[in-house]
Amino acid sequence: MKHDTASRFLDIAPEVQATLVAGGAVVALESTIITHGMPHPQNVATAREVETVVRENGAVPATIAIIEGRLKIGLSDAELDWLGTAKDVMKLSRADLPYAVASRRNGATTVAATMICAHLAGIRVFATGGIGGVHQGVEATMDISADLDELARTPVAVICAGAKAILDLPRTLEYLETRGVPVVGYRTDRFPAFWSRTSELFVPLRLDSPDAMADLIRTKEALGLDGGVLVANPVPSAHEIPADEMKTFIDAAVAEAKARGVVGKAVTPFLLSHLFEKTAGRSLATNIALVKNNAALAAQLAVSLTR
Ligand code: PSU
Ligand code: MN
């Protein structure tokens, strides 16, 4: 437990707890992707498959959510099913977490909130789809995801497929550099753009094995440098949608969000569901494939970290 006074708010699933106590490998998984990122029933099916992938790669999955104000580290089957269709579930980032706990609310954790909860439970590795970042039009909106600042302060390694191409990717990378977050391309020199394996951007650092990433994380800790590490793992080629093909859909989705006055927390869910519709489900299939791919790598990294 990383913060003594927080323990009374945590419900760590018995298997997760036993594995942590034994020094075994655990991978945290987020829940906003379930409640706000994918439609039912693919959301629940994917969450289950992702947990299976983590197990197949030698680690124990811990899907994180807030249920009636309790920080759940590892969900039961029944809880996962319920979350898949639950109404009035808050999308929780750092700013909303204490409110949800104090008011006994239900909430899904974003990358930022999942990192916080994982760290409180002593989990060092977390797999997601794509992190939030700097939004297009930031000059006017100042919309920068709290995920980026969380990466700068909370020591959890986040495995993603880059940042969603709906974002301003160059500014997202600049911001991460400013905030001192190591951004590592896994077996790639290019920063992946979620649905696409590459972008025009180079990734700042590159490593080619889970052991090398574990070594980086241990070294960072030993140097007393706080904050996390972002690992960018390109979607498998078989499931990729090339960037130029995605661009038309993305431009339309961003324009539609602007025209409808969608702001704040609603932006990312709006853009994702708009894209699922316009690509006739193709972007959803890619999203599912990349999350599973990230879960496998996260489990391998968690196993490396136990050695
Ligand atoms: N990755 C996905 N689908 C998602 C998200 C990530 O494949 O829905 C969620 C994550 O929870 C991330 C959030 O933290 O989108 C970013 O939201 P915002 O831009 O409002 O910070
Ligand atoms: Mn935002």
Please report the ipTM that was assigned to this predicted complex: 0.93
Class of domain 4-306: alpha beta
Domain locations along the chain: 4-306
Interval 12-26 mean pLDDT: 98
Ligand nearest to the CA of 111: 1
Residues 46-73: tens digit of each pLDDT: 999 999 999 999 999 999 999 999 999 9
pLDDT, residue 3, reads 66
CA 248 to chain CA mean position, Å: 25
Over the stretch 113-154, which tens digit does the pLDDT of each residue have? Answer: 999 999 999 999 999 999 999 999 999 999 999 999 999 999
Residue 2: per-residue pLDDT: 57
pLDDT of res. 176:
98
Q: What is the dihedral of CA 101, 143, 172, 93, to 10 degrees?
A: 0
**If you measure from the C-alpha of residue 4 to the centroid of ligand 1, how many angstroms do you get, rounded to a whole number?**
29
- Distances in Å between the Cα of 24 and the Cα atoms of 16, 149, 252, 296 are 9, 28, 45, 16
Residue numbering of the annotated binding site for substrate: 91, 111, 145-147
Note the pLDDT of residue 168: 96
| Range with the poorest average pLDDT among 2-16, 138-152, 199-213 | 2-16
**Is ligand 1 within 6 A of the CB of residue 46?**
no
Extract the annotated binding site for Mn(2+).
Answer: 143
Q: Whose CA is nearest to atom 20 of ligand 1?
A: 265
Q: Which of 51, 72, 150, 164 is catalytic?
A: 164
> Across residues 102-120, what is the average pLDDT?
98
Decide if 30 is catalytic.
yes
For position 165, what pLDDT does the model report?
A: 87
With CA atoms as reference, report the closest residue to 62 among 75, 43, 79, 45: 75
